Structure 1
Amino acid sequence: MRGDDVKATMRGDDVKATMRGDDVKATMRGDDVKATMIANDMNAIMIGNDVKATMRGDDVKATMIGNEIKVTMIANDMNAIMIGNDVKATMRGNEMKATTICNDIKATMRGDDVKATMRGDDVKATMRGNEMKATTICNDINATMIGNDVKATMMCNEMKTTMICNDINATMIGNEMKATMIGNEMNGTTIGNTMKTTMI
């Protein structure tokens, strides 16, 4: 589909869509959803067992509910909500707002402004940007954060965190925490049973 205004509703077992235009609104439901979207304004809702999406544009709003989600987003403004068992997301842009609720989360985020909320059993996140605000609530967290301003709140059983930035404000509550922080200004609060912290 190519045009200025594209509105599509798709339901089926196997859905493959390529959309290019200024305004794209898509609703997809099916077992296998593969979508490639290149547009200025995108509003997408995807519900299925296997969702693979590639989105490029200025304004992206996506809601994804499925068992396995693989998303690549390159845009200036992103607002994404992902609910599923397995989520693999790669996001690059100026402003990113992501909410992920699932069992297995693997996220790579690069941009100027990153706001992420993650809830799940296994979270592996790599974040690089100027300003990052992350809230993670899960059992196992493996996070690497590199940026100028990092504000992180983590609540879980096991946390392994490496932070390299100028300004760090971190609150960690969990049973086992291993944290390495390298930066100019650090404000950390850790509450847990076993804590190993290295601050430089």
Structure 2
Amino acid sequence: MTDAAIQELLLSRIRDVADYPKPGVMFKDITPLLADPVAFTALTEALADVCVRTQATKIVGLEARGFILAAPVAVRAGLGFIPVRKAGKLPGATLSQAYELEYGTAEVEVHAEDLAAGDRVMIIDDVLATGGTAGASLELIRRAGAEVVGLTVLMELAFLGGRARLEPTLGGAPLEALITI
């Protein structure tokens, strides 16, 4: 399937939900895409191809919908899956990183032993919006001694400027979006 055909298929399975979660927001609902085995398989294979091409050795998925995408990609690519969670959800020793939200701060964590020097990590998430969670995850991965080989998302909401915020911190690693809106 060509890149254009994959994009068309994926876009046809993403539903717009007006005024969710608040008035004025057009929410991009990926649950119809996940429910369609042909579309979900095409998405998984496209993301796995990126991981193989970048010679990733581990895949990090960002909470929460990034888990849904990254876990089957890891299986398809034959790689390990590492979850980056919201603070307080992982047992044992963790590395944590705070980041700014529109009104306050949040924090993400990873198990301290899950990443190490020599790991080549692909970050996968469903949506790139402002880049806050992805930026914090980049920092966590590097603090663990691993190398970030890329950040790949299903959908980039370009009007929110996440790419411009993240590219200076990627250190030359590619930021790829299968769909840009």
- TM-score normalised to structure 2 length: 0.25
Q: When you count helix as a share of all residues, which structure comes out higher?
A: 2
Larger Rg: 1 or 2?
1
Q: Relative contact order (C-alpha < 8 Å, sep 6+): which is higher?
A: 2
Q: When you count strand as a share of all residues, which structure comes out higher?
A: 1
